Amino acid sequence: MPEPHISVLMPVFNTAKYLQQALDSISGQTYDNFELVVIDDGSADGSDQILKSHAQKDSRMRLVLRENQGLIATRNELLCGARAELVAWMDSDDISLPQRLALQSAAFAEDPTLVCLGSTAQCIDPDGHFLNIERYSLMHQEILLDQEKGGAMRFPTTMMRRDAAAQVGAFREPFKIGEDFDLLLRLSEVGKMANLPETLYLYRQHVASVCAALGPHWAIYRDHILALARERRRDGKDKLQNGGELVIVAPQNFDRRRFESATYCHWARSALINENFPLAWKYSIAGIRAWSKSRAAWRTVARVFVTAATAAFTRRRPRRS
């Protein structure tokens, strides 16, 4: 079997509802010199059967089924098993648009100093409706500045050089959140980072994952990861690279309701921008149900009502001749 030019790496854990869409989006790429490497990390929802069926239809897929070992171990196993020079990450509940691999691989061919490349991402809700668009800085220096704020790239949109990811140590414990951000920071220290302006990825939002990001956990992990980056700039290596340990204490009890409410309100505002008024109304009401004391949720409901009513009045108002 000839060596592929790209290895698409997909960790899977209990995403049966969306998995076939994700797989089809890779099989349907306009660029076809790739392998799809998938590890099912002990799913219990029937994901394994979907994967087996797809592997029979697409010979470019290599599938590993095993017991649960966690995301970091799964990502590292995928990286070690990749045969191609370039690796593209893919979440098992998202969708890669057809031109993704073609445009990203072309960018790497043009620039040998490039080590990691992301793209614009269209966020979608659990049912696939469009929400906000995530646009990121395109050039290396601007990306470095954005990383200091905990951003700069949406990880599953990225393609990277396999050897560079291995060189910097791949994914590390103890990051239960932000293990991808930690890797991206270390990659930015050995080569050029960039983002394409084209929207090449549909990134699915879920309340549970978004609340984890909005909650206090993400801020704590982010600050530890940025502190390690400052250690590397100052000393050449951080404590983990020197064999030390990092203990991260995240709060166990916080009011999840307010973060759920904030997530629904964000989705409502995004739907409003897209003039999807029924969806905006649905999520603004969900924001109040999640936390009825939220002033922001009530303001969002009022904003949706006024905007929708104004749009309806404008459409019905007769034009003057």
The answer to whether the CB of 79 falls within 8 A of the CB of 161 is no
Write down the pLDDT at residue 315.
Answer: 74
Q: Is 110 exposed, middle or buried (0-12, 13-18, 19+ CB in 10 A)?
A: exposed
Model confidence over 177-212: pLDDT tens digits? 999 999 999 999 999 999 999 999 999 999 877 666
Q: Is 139 exposed, middle or buried (0-12, 13-18, 19+ CB in 10 A)?
A: exposed
Least confident of 107-111, 123-127, 217-221: 217-221
318: confidence class by pLDDT, cuts 50, 70, 90? low
Model confidence over 49-101: pLDDT tens digits? 999 999 999 999 999 999 999 999 999 999 999 999 999 999 999 999 999 99
Model confidence over 4-48: pLDDT tens digits? 999 999 999 999 999 999 999 999 999 999 999 999 999 999 999
- For 207-291, where are the alpha helices, taking DSSP H only? 207-214, 216-235, 256-273, 277-290
Mean pLDDT throughout 146-153?
A: 95
Where are the chain's structural domains?
A: 6-206, 256-316
- Torsion angles phi and psi, residue 120, rounded to 5: -65, 145
Model confidence over 271-315: pLDDT tens digits? 999 999 999 999 999 999 999 999 999 999 999 999 999 988 787
Model confidence over 220-277: pLDDT tens digits? 999 999 999 999 999 999 999 999 999 998 777 778 888 899 999 999 999 999 999 9
At residue 152, does pLDDT exceed 80?
Answer: yes
Write down the pLDDT at residue 211.
Answer: 65
CATH number of 6-206: 3.90.550.10
Distance from C-alpha of 136 to C-alpha of 195, rounded to nearest angstrom: 7
Per-residue DSSP letter, 239: T
C-alpha separations of 292 from 114, 253, 306 in Å:
48, 20, 20
Mean pLDDT throughout 113-135?
A: 97
Q: Which residue type occupies 191?
A: G
Write down the pLDDT at residue 277.
Answer: 95
At residue 321, does pLDDT exceed 60?
Answer: no
- HSE-CB at 163 with a 13 A cutoff on CA atoms is 5
CA-CA-CA-CA dihedral for 16, 21, 26, 29, to nearest 10: 170
Cis check for the bond before 4: say yes or no (omega within 30 of 0): no
- Torsion angles phi and psi, residue 239, rounded to 5: -65, -35
